Structure formats: structure tokens, C-alpha cells
Amino acid sequence: MNLITRNSLRLRALPHRLSSLTSLRQQATCATPTFPCVDAHAARESRILASSFYRYSQTDTQASSSDSGPEPPYARPNPLSYNTYHHQYPLELTYGSTLPSFDIAYETWGTLSPSRDNVILLHTGLSASSHAASTELNPTEGWWEKFIGPGRALDTNNFFVICTNVLGGCYGSTGPSSLDPEGQRYATRFPIISIFDMVQAQFKLLDHLGVQKLYASVGSSMGGMQSLAAGWLFPDRVGKIVSISGTARSSPGSIAMRHAQRSVLMADSNWNNGFYYDNLPPHTGMKLARQIATITYRSGPEWDQRFGRKIRELKDGQSPSPSRSPTLCPDFLIETYLDHQGEQFCLKYDANSLLYISKAMDLFDLTLPALQELAMTTTTHAPPSPSTSSSSSRQSPAPSKSHPPPLHYAPHFPELAAGLEPLKSIPVLVLGVQSDILFPVEQQRELVDALRMAGSTQVSYFELGGVWGHDTFLLDVLNVGGAVRGFLS
């Protein structure tokens, strides 16, 4: 077949091809695309409007949770299952504001000794409530259920454990969703708070309970920051410190991750500059913020093992076929996992509390210049003067048996060692996790080295493997629990 014949055949077939292409385009144009993952936001909004969730009415501690229909998302745990301490005097805050009064929700486990010297203060992460373990009033498992009890890491045969919902939270303690003295929601009129303010409020509770000195201050994640802050503020009132996957100075990487969460939340039009309590909450922004957070809480290797590149099942329960067409909505199991995590969280926690508490984490910095800028002082020690805290007047930290010292310390390292000087007489346990991307293990190593440079000879450090990332402190009962129990005993 010569060239002229071939071209003639192609020209004859061209109208048919053009007709087929036009038909396909018309079908594509006529078919309205659907996005179930987007429609889910509208469906959630309809459910909120049809329920009492959007009223954000905080249940009175004397009222039954069934009095107002479905349990409000801020009432977890049930208000009848925790204690509330009301501090009727003003609390001066780190950044110049004052809270006229405040409430602290707390739960306890074990028996307080006659001399009140067996108390462990357990500090929470960002969004946890005071319900760390089950109680008679609330048999639901707590967020650290397997670590608290007879013979466990926090052994209730020996210790009296107290866990609070932090200042700024929404599970019984005073926060943005609370009422101000005029009976209005604080919303974003709530003052900026710090990790130090959270600890100050906790120690007001300890004063109320007649506890002069803690046996130990224990915390993970943001709780690790609080445990260090407790020792810094009250070095004579803290017997031991446990910091798990925590840090003494928030890093730019962690700040960036939390900034992204706050950004998507505040971009939700329902946020309304924080004044949403009588309307729809920013549920879409909260869902997206939680998805971002979940990425920082776990690790890629875990998801490789757990999900791989598996595709979700179809709605009818059929397994996905190789010929299945991909969509813009979740196809991979890891996508459906993140979607589920965001969906579960978006109505369980107050958006403004997330903003305020995550910001408090960003602001945490125990380097000496940062402390001096805030005019922070301990209850028994004045901060070292610059002349006594320079790198030239300090010895290098002793070589670590747990990790090799870095060839070159970060520029802020001597300042961090100077800031940590009030902790030098307190035994400290530091735990780090190699797969943690939110609080990388380098931050725990730096904390250990800085404590040693500050003069501490009672620092214990364990570095854990595994694939669970930052959430290792919630899951690794054997290694985390074993290290904590050994240190406390």
C-alpha cells in the first residue's frame, strides 16, 4: 500500500474518529463529577445542626449529662467523673495578663500517704483530658490506662497519682470555651498562656490538697515540657522529673507543623475569629488540622507495615480490582485512616483550645535569654547571671554512654545549659524515640547533654527504637513503662 492510499484511508476514517471523540467529550461534560469526601463535610454540618452539639453548652457539674440531649463534645470525661478545684484568686500569667479566677479538672488514683509525700503529678499532652486511667466513677479506659495501676509504671500500691486537664483546655479546666466573669464565653478574648502558666495552676491545686513536695513530675510530649517547667519553677517541690518525647525548647520544625494546623483551622469560615460557640464550630478546619497532626504523631515505617499501598474496599464490600479507576477522594488505606482520625476528633475538642495550647507549646523555651526576657524566676533560685553562665565558665558535658556527643553543639546550647541550672539537683529521666518526627530524638539528646553541662549528675537517658513515632509513649508499655517504673522505684 503506497503512501497516497494510506493517507486516503486515514482521511476517510477521520470523521468517525472525530465523532467518537466528540461523543466522549459530551459524556464527560454531561456527567456531573461527585466527591463523597467533600460531601461528607456538608453531611456532618447537617448532623451538627440537627443535634445539640453546636450549642457548646458546658454541662454543670451537678447536672446529668442526659439533661441536654446528646453528650456535649466538651464533656469528655463526664463532668460527674472528675473533681474540680476552683481557684478564686487572680492568676498572673507569663505574658502580662491576669485570669481573675480559674477551674482545674483533675482525677486521682491510689492512696495519699499520711505525710502526703507519695504524689506523682502526671502531665498531659495537647488534647488529653484528666482521664488518664479508668476509675470507679468512669470505668472507660484512659489515655494511659496500661501505665497506671498496681504494679504498673505509676504503681498505685505506692503512689498517689494526680492528672489534670491543663489550663486552656476544654475538659473541665478553664479555657477559651469557659465563661468569663460577665457570663460570656472567653473565645479569643482568652489571654495567651504558657506552659509555665499551666504548671502554676497545677501547683495551686497541689497547695489546696496540702501537697508540699511531689515525689515526681511525669509527662510525655507537651507533658514532658510541663514536667521540666515544674522542676524549673519549683525545684524544692519536685523530687524527680520524667520527660518522655519532650523538649526543653520547641524547634522550628515542630513550630511549623503546629502552625500549619492552626492555619487550616483559622481559615475555616465557621471559626469566625473564635466566636463560634452559638453557631457551627469550625469542624472542617479541625478535621484537617487533626490529619496534619496525625502525620506528625506516627511514622512512615509504621504505615509501610500497616497500610503499604493497599487500596480501600468498595462500598459494597468488594475488594478493589486492578482495573478500578482512581478518584480524587481517598483511595489508599492510609488516606482513609487519616480521614477517620480527623472525623473522630473534629467535634471532640474545642478549636480555640487547640489554638491556644499549641501556641503555648511553640513558645516554650528554657534557654537563659528566653527566660530572662520573660523575667522568669524560680521559687528558690534566681536565674544565673550572664557572667556566670557563659560557655567559657562551664565545663563540657561528660561523654554520654547512651549516645555520642555531637562534634559541634548548636549556638543556643550553652544558653540552654544555663537555663536548666535550677534542675541540676533533681534526678531526671529522659526518654527519646528514634522514629519520632514531631520531637526528634536529637532534642532529647540535647536536653540530656545540657542538663549535664548545667552540673547535673543524676540524668538517665534511654533511646527507644520501634516504628510508632511520637505516639510510642502511648503504646510501648514494655519499654516506656519499664523505664519509668525502674526510675521511680
**Known catalytic residues?**
221, 436, 470
Tell me the C-alpha distance between 249 and 255, whole Å: 10
Within a 13 Å sphere around the CA of 185, how many CA atoms are in the beta-carbon half? 18
Query: What are the φ and ψ backbone dihedral angles of 97, each rounded to 5 degrees?
Result: -85, 175
Provide the angle, in degrees to the nearest 10, between the axes of the packed helices 351-363 and 222-233.
Answer: 60
Within a 13 Å sphere around the CA of 447, how many CA atoms are in the beta-carbon half? 33
Beta bridge partners of 87: 102
Q: Quick one: residue 291, left, alpha or beta (phi over 0 = left, psi -120 to 50 = alpha)?
A: alpha
Cell numbers standing for residue 77: 470525661
* 479 neighbors 467 (Cβ within 8 angstroms): no
Tell me the C-alpha distance between 448 and 454, whole Å: 10
What's the length of the chain?
489
Tell me the C-alpha distance between 61 and 111, whole Å: 24
Q: Give the rounded distance of the alpha carbon of 348 from its chain centre.
A: 14
- Collapse the DSSP code of 155 into the 3-class scheme (helix H, G, I; strand E, B; otherwise coil) and give the result: strand
Cell numbers standing for residue 363: 513558645
Cα–Cα distance list, 479 to 78, 147, 293, 304, 463 (Å):
32, 11, 24, 23, 10
- Collapse the DSSP code of 476 into the 3-class scheme (helix H, G, I; strand E, B; otherwise coil) and give the result: coil
* 250 neighbors 365 (Cβ within 8 angstroms): yes
Query: What are the φ and ψ backbone dihedral angles of 460, each rounded to 5 degrees?
Result: -110, 140
* 213 neighbors 237 (Cβ within 8 angstroms): yes
